[in-house]
Structure 1
Amino acid sequence: MQRRGPGLLLRDIERGEDPDVAAVVDTIAHNSPDILLLTGFDWDHGLAAARALEARLDAAGAGYPYLFARRPNSGLATGLDMDGDGRTGGPRDAQGFGWYAGQGAMVLLSRLPVRAAAARDFSAVRWRDFPGALLPEVDGHPFPSETALAAQRLSTTGHWDVPVTLPDGGALHLLCFYAGPPIFDGPEDRNGRRNHDEVAFWSAYLDGALPQPAPATPVVVLGNANLDPADGEGRRAAISDLLAHARLQDPAPASAGAAEAARLDDGVNAGQSGDPARDTADWSDTDGPGNLRVSYVLPDARLSVAGAGVVWPAKDDPLRRLIEGEDLPRHRLVWVDLEVPAR
């Protein structure tokens, strides 16, 4: 749900001819979650693309009356050389990778009322201000420069604390994020270090290590960490700590399709130590790391989990059509059913 130019996603959604948009609509409509965070979704002023998608979903019987998104860091120009290649104005010179402002951002859709006025947006927090920040260096000097690091924000896309109103009138805080991948850098490990701190942000928030106190009411961490606790590249301690956090629980969503994919494509998946049934992204047909668990829904430990899974149908499942196709997203929908108080 991201394109190489502004406005193109809106065009593709409204035309109704794009197969990957149709697959996303079908997948969402079939599963029909009450709360949905889409990552890798182009942002625009007025949320025109998000509203167009919601109209398609509403026509499919799965409408969402509440939308939330804040301006992301992806594509946000800095005017500085942020990746150390000696040039400015490239997609890696933005606060978060992007060829244009808002490319590959995130949007929250909800059937529960969103308390937008009470939402916290941490996207402007500077990386160097994060406690214990793993800032990159080369030969003892800030990378790519002191000026760049002084301007660099922590969030590749954003970190949001968005409260929604439960049926009993209470609040559930959605801790949303979309971290950058821990690859595509050099020996300074700039992206690996930043990814670690983006994931570690929520642990620090829940631990009270940030200036803003975490809410006392229940929370759910949800988003794409781009980090697997057992396999692939990256500094895995960050996601391991988050999964084991005392305020959270890991429902360990799984699917038959992910386990099947690991067996059928054992070349790139061979040697992995994590449970393949828990994978959420399909990189088995590339030269990449193999299938990985990178997307998460981590409810508050005080909430009751009624079920969890990943929408990755096996080959003999009639719903396999939802994920098959040359241009369809590699990331699968992760879902968790929570029991909340009734009105």
Structure 2
Amino acid sequence: MRTPLAATVAAALALSVPLMATPAFSAPAEKPAAATASEKSQQETLKVATYNASLNRNFEGQLVQDLSTPDNVQAKAVAEVIQMNQPDVLLINEFDYDSEHRAADLFRTNYLEVSQNGQDIAEYPYVYVAPSNTGIPSGFDLNNNGVVSGGDDALGFGLFPGQYGMVVYSKYPILEDQVRTFQNFLWEDMPNNAMPEGWYTDEESAILPLSSKSHWDVPVQVDNKAVHALVSHPTPPTFDGAEDRNGRRNHDEIRFWADYVSSFKKTSAYIYDDNGSFGGLKAGERFVIMGDQNADPLDGDSLDLAIDQLLDHKRIQDPLPTSKGAVEAAELQGGANATHLADPAYDTADFADGAPGNLRADYVLPSRNLVVEEAGVFWPTQGEPGSELTGVYPFPTSDHRLVWVDLKK
């Protein structure tokens, strides 16, 4: 049996597809981190949030350019949403990656640490950024349209390397030496995978990663105990054909975390990280699965039961966050929302401009050995404080809403 990492390296060299370097960390802000940690230790809860903030741009370097001044209207609104909610650990999806991590630092210094409309600033001394598969040319015709070019033939859809990336901000120390990334794990190396039969050639399968962006295990030290932020952003289960290659990849990107946190070592034994270490999360570890999973339990286009792999998992609990704004939006918009099976109170994404209607796409799912105090979706009803930040299409921030969970420390 071939060695997965060795095969990946060989294929990448043959095709001139760059394997990404070891992820790097943005340096902590120059402020008394010890004082920040002391202040946080006095709190009784840990607030964890995920937010697909749509801070993606059309060309490489545009996000850095937009964040270089404190005047970008969308970034100011996104920062205000974050300041109103004040999560302790925050994942932002759709945040373009740059190798020098300038965008992550600029958003912190020019927006989060500047009061937006009188809100308290949000200080995050710790930031984690790493590469994304999006926009990296594969060298193959992955969509089988007869042409090798464009975002649809990249390792993950994107018009340039790093588009639609992600970033983790934390008020608690990130345990840098314990972070694991899985950007280069090959889809074909997942046992009993859902890859479409006959769609990819052997050569294509040998270089195609499972993750359309990346999967990260980012441990955060909270009062001398680690909480693992398991973050990702599976591909949307659409924009394909009858072969359902994106729906199948979405299913297996979600399954990755289900296997990673399994109580049975055999279930996760196949997993290898970008440093070549095998296996999943150890039994008894505390974790929170976070991100835009692009899958609703009952509605939308995801493969049947895709998100149930997490929602029904023995080690995972679902806090079922809700909002009144989502209910109001579904009633006002009608359309596909009127035929949905799920309760609209659980929706986290406003797709009023598209066919699927509003869906539950974004999740914060803690391990069962963590105690949930409260949970919610930041989706105010019209006229409530913050409703001008969520708005209606075209949105002032994003078509997704911030989802948060308060955990007992």
TM over 0.5, yes or no? yes
Query: C-alpha deviations, 1:60-117, integer Å up to 9, x for none?
Result: 3211111102111111222111111111131011110010010011110001100122
Q: Could you tell me which runs of 5 or more consecutive residues in structure 1 were left unpaired when the two chains were aligned.
A: none
Query: C-alpha deviations, 1:117-168, integer Å up to 9, x for none?
Result: 211111211000012111112xxxx21322212211000111111111011x
**3-state SS of 1:15 partner:** coil
- Seen in structure 2, the aligned counterparts of structure 1 residues 318 and 119 have a Cα distance that, compared at 3 Å, is same
Query: C-alpha deviations, 1:24-83, integer Å up to 9, x for none?
Result: 011001111000000011000121001101112122321111110211111122211111
Match of 2:289 among 183, 203, 221: 221
**3-state SS of 1:238 partner:** coil
Contact 2:236 2:246 in 1 (8 A): yes
Match of 2:86 among 32, 35, 39: 32
How far 1:241 sits from its partner (Å)?
2.2
Match of 2:181 in 1: 121
Q: Does structure 1 residue 333 correspond to structure 2 residue 402?
A: yes
Match of 1:296 in 2: 363
Match of 1:70 in 2: 130
Give the whole-Å Cα distance in 2 for the aligned partners of 1:121 and 1:176: 10
Give the whole-Å Cα distance in 1 for the aligned partners of 2:238 and 2:337: 18
Give the whole-Å Cα distance in 2 for the aligned partners of 1:226 and 1:205: 19
Contact 1:228 1:236 in 2 (8 A): no
Q: Which segment drifts farther, 291-300 or 310-319? A: 310-319
- TM-score by length of structure 2 reads 0.80
| Equivalent residue runs for 1:191-206 within 5 Å | 191-206=246-261
Higher relative contact order (CA 8 A, sep 6+): 2
Query: C-alpha deviations, 1:240-265, integer Å up to 9, x for none?
Result: 12111111110001000001111111
Amino acid at match of 1:222: M
Q: Which segment drifts farther, 298-307 or 16-25? A: 16-25
**3-state SS of 1:269 partner:** helix
Match of 2:232 in 1: 177
Amino acid at match of 1:155: S
| Equivalent residue runs for 1:124-143 within 5 Å | 124-137=184-197, 142-143=198-199
Give % identity. Answer: 41
> Hey, which bits of structure 1, 4+ residues long, moved more than 3 A?
none
Amino acid at match of 2:329: A
Contact 1:143 1:149 in 2 (8 A): no
- TM-score by length of structure 1 reads 0.95
Give the whole-Å Cα distance in 2 for the aligned partners of 1:304 and 1:256: 24
Amino acid at match of 1:15: T
Contact 1:268 1:287 in 2 (8 A): no
Give the whole-Å Cα distance in 2 for the aligned partners of 1:215 and 1:109: 24
Contact 2:254 2:309 in 1 (8 A): no
